[in-house]
Amino acid sequence: MSTLIQKYNIPGPRYTSYPTVPYWDETTFSKQKWIQTFQKSFEESNTSEGISLYIHLPYCESLCTFCACHKHITKRHEVEEPYIETVLKEWDLYVDLIDEVPVIKEVHLGGGTPTFFSIGQLEKLINGIFKRAQKHPNHEFSFEGHPNNTSKEHLQGLYDLGFTRVSFGVQDYNPKVQEAIHRIQPFENVERVHNWAKEIGYTSISHDLVFGLPFQTKENVIHTITKTKELQPDRISFYSYAHVPWVKGVGQRGFNENDLPKNDEKRALYEIGKELFAEMGYIEIGMDHFALPTDSLYTATETKTLHRNFMGYTANKTQLMIGLGMSAISDSWYGFAQNVKTVKEYQQIVNDGEIPVFRGHILSKEDLVMRKHILNIMCHFNTSWEEEALQIENIENHIDKLQEMINDGLVCVEKNHLTVPEEARPYVRNICMAFDKKLQEKQPETKLFSMTI
User: Nearest Cα to 24, choosing from 392, 312, 442, 434?
Assistant: 442
| Residue 391 pLDDT level (bands cut at 50, 70, 90) | low
pLDDT one-digit tens code per residue, 71-115:
888 999 999 999 999 999 999 999 999 999 999 999 999 999 999
- What lies within 8 Å, CB to CB, of 347 at 6+ separation is 82, 83, 86
Answer with the residue of higher pLDDT: 98 or 441. 98
What is the pLDDT at residue 10? 79
The yes-or-no verdict on residue 130 having pLDDT over 70 is yes
| Residue 394 pLDDT level (bands cut at 50, 70, 90) | low
What is the pLDDT at residue 448? 59
pLDDT one-digit tens code per residue, 174-184:
999 999 999 99
pLDDT one-digit tens code per residue, 313-372:
999 889 999 999 999 999 999 999 999 999 999 999 999 999 999 999 999 988 998 999
The yes-or-no verdict on residue 256 having pLDDT over 80 is no
Q: Quick check: pTM over 0.75?
A: yes
What is the pLDDT at residue 149? 95
Answer with the residue of higher pLDDT: 387 or 211. 211
Least confident of 327-341, 377-391, 400-414: 377-391
What is the pLDDT at residue 250? 44
Amino acid at 186: P
- What lies within 8 Å, CB to CB, of 349 at 6+ separation is 340, 355, 356
Answer with the residue of higher pLDDT: 89 or 250. 89
User: Nearest Cα to 173, choosing from 165, 158, 183?
Assistant: 183
What is the pLDDT at residue 392? 55
| Residue 245 pLDDT level (bands cut at 50, 70, 90) | low
User: Nearest Cα to 41, choosing from 385, 363, 384?
Assistant: 363
Answer with the residue of higher pLDDT: 322 or 21. 322
